């Protein structure tokens, strides 16, 4: 098994990073989160339709790229590095993952960037304790789901109900945006009042749970991107900032703190890449998959079962959540007074890190899962 980035993954990263550098700099994101439309629809259109990121997880027969979780993770690293206000995680990862098993026709529209979808579950839901909050009767849905990410820009809402999955036109539901800690990823309350829904044939609660696990595992890569930006930006700042006629970064205490953060980020990259690699076996063949499939066979990845993938997801989400938050907090402090201002973008990263820590299962929830999956004894009461 190799966790190194392939040439194709690096090319994809370069394309996404160049576009974000041109159109999604820190100043742009700061201005956008203060507006009434935090999501950048035009940037999303370019990413989805010209670079094709929206269809990475969608098989080629449904109009997608037929890529895997590895390439998707690379995109999420770059989106996290830019705290980009885009619905990639909510539509192209969570919603698409919930539909993959069914092969529903909606996949084609999502892959082409002609529509966006949102999985109507609380963003903080645990993949291990998911419960439906909407009901269905005679094809109409009712109920209220709080703290749904991506619903405010979704054209289609995917609602788990009655043991199945239903597609509801967003115009038939009430979507009310509520205050969110993460200004770059709004959340909303979705209210369904006898809303007509179309049952997704072949999709059930198991698909929803797998989508949540996939989302949790790939969210770790976004958190890696957040941590890397905070570390690199802080390193550049302490080299330039002088106190007592010497760079702040030359003080021994600062060096030790930065070294500890660097080690944390390196470990986070290994955990996130491992989760993405194992998820790739479940989400489809990789781009240029002939060569990697052969490597995977030699590595014995085909012999891995779902338990190994779930364990890798739980490890990655628990570790990367805490690393992203720790590096962001240290970044704010090491930036001194300017780090406390609204004009400096580091607060956006701290808020993204805190919101991401809670999303799709807290570190404690995933550590509990690790204990079960690895058959570790629990603490003595």
At residue 284, the pLDDT reads 45
Distance between CA 309 and CA 300 in Å, rounded? 14
Per-residue b or e along 192-217, where b marks 16 or more CB atoms closer than 10 Å to that residue's CB: beebebeebeebebebbbbbbbbbbb
Distance between CA 334 and CA 98 in Å, rounded? 41
Q: How confident is the model at residue 288 (pLDDT cuts 50, 70, 90)?
A: very low
Which domains, and CATH codes, for the chain?
207-284+302-374 (1.20.140.10)
At residue 302, the pLDDT reads 43
Q: For residue 378, what are the CA distances in angstroms to 121, 148, 372? A: 30, 33, 9
Q: How confident is the model at residue 381 (pLDDT cuts 50, 70, 90)?
A: low
At residue 21, the pLDDT reads 96
pLDDT in tens, 71-119: 999 999 999 999 999 999 999 999 999 999 999 999 999 999 999 999 9
At residue 51, the pLDDT reads 95
The DSSP code sequence of 37-104 is --S-HHHHHIIIIII-GGGTTS-GGGTS----HHHHHHHHHHHHHTT---SIIIIIIIIHHHHTTTT-
Tell me the backbone φ, ψ of residue 124, rounded to 5 degrees: -90, 10
Tell me the backbone φ, ψ of residue 361, rounded to 5 degrees: 105, 125
Interval 123-142 mean pLDDT: 94
Closest CA to 229 of 335, 342, 349: 349
Token output for 59:
């098989």
Distance between CA 115 and CA 91 in Å, rounded? 9
- What kind and span of H or E run contains 201? strand 198-204
Rounded (10°) angle between helices 306-334 and 363-373: 150
Burial class (CB in 10 A: 0-12, 13-18, 19+), 138: exposed
The answer to whether residue 298 scores a pLDDT higher than 50 is no
Q: How confident is the model at residue 3 (pLDDT cuts 50, 70, 90)?
A: confident
- Of the segments 31-45, 179-193, 299-313, which one has the largest average pLDDT value? 179-193
The answer to whether residue 182 scores a pLDDT higher than 50 is yes
At residue 282, the pLDDT reads 62
Q: How confident is the model at residue 194 (pLDDT cuts 50, 70, 90)?
A: very high
The answer to whether residue 125 scores a pLDDT higher than 50 is yes
The answer to whether residue 24 scores a pLDDT higher than 60 is yes
* pTM for the model: 0.93
Distance between CA 334 and CA 350 in Å, rounded? 13
Interacting residues of 224 by C-beta distance below 8 A, sequence separation 6+: 77, 80, 265, 268, 269, 272, 320, 323, 324
Interval 349-377 mean pLDDT: 95
Interacting residues of 297 by C-beta distance below 8 A, sequence separation 6+: none
Interval 345-371 mean pLDDT: 97
């Amino acid at each position: 098994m190799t966790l190194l980035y392939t040439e194709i993954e690096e090319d994809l990263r370069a394309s996404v990073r160049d576009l974000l550098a041109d159109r999604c700099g820190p100043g742009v994101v700061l201005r956008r989160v203060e507006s009434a439309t935090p999501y950048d629809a035009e940037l999303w259109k370019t990413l989805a339709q010209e670079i094709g990121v929206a269809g990475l997880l969608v098989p080629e027969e449904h109009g997608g790229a037929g890529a895997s979780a590895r390439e998707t993770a690379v995109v999420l690293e770059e989106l996290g590095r830019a705290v980009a206000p885009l619905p990639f995680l909510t539509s192209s990862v969570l919603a698409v993952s919930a539909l993959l098993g069914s092969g529903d026709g909606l996949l084609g529209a999502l892959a082409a960037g002609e529509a966006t979808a949102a999985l109507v579950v609380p963003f903080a839901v645990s993949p291990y304790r998911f419960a439906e909050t909407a009901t269905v009767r005679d094809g109409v849905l009712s109920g209220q789901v709080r703290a749904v990410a991506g619903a405010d820009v979704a054209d289609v809402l995917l609602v788990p109900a009655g043991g199945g999955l239903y597609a509801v036109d967003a115009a038939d539901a009430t979507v009310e945006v509520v205050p969110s800690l993460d200004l770059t990823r709004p959340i909303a309350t979705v209210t369904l009042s006898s809303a007509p829904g179309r049952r997704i044939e072949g999709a059930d609660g198991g698909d929803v749970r797998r989508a949540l696990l996939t989302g949790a595992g790939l969210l770790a890569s976004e958190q890696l991107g957040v941590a890397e930006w905070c570390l690199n930006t802080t390193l550049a700042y302490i080299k330039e900032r002088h106190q007592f006629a010497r760079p702040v970064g030359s003080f021994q205490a600062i060096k030790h703190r930065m070294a500890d953060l660097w080690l944390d980020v390196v470990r986070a990259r290994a955990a996130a890449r491992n989760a993405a690699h194992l998820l790739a076996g479940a989400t489809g063949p990789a781009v240029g998959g002939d060569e990697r499939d052969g490597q995977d066979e030699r590595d014995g990845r085909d012999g891995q079962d779902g338990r190994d993938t779930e364990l890798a997801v739980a490890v990655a989400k628990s570790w990367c959540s805490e690393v992203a938050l720790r590096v962001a907090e240290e970044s704010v402090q090491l930036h001194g007074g300017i780090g406390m201002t609204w004009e400096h973008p580091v607060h956006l990263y701290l808020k993204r890190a805190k919101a991401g820590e809670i999303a799709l299962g807290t570190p404690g929830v995933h550590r509990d899962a690790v204990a079960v999956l690895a058959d570790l004894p629990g603490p003595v009461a």
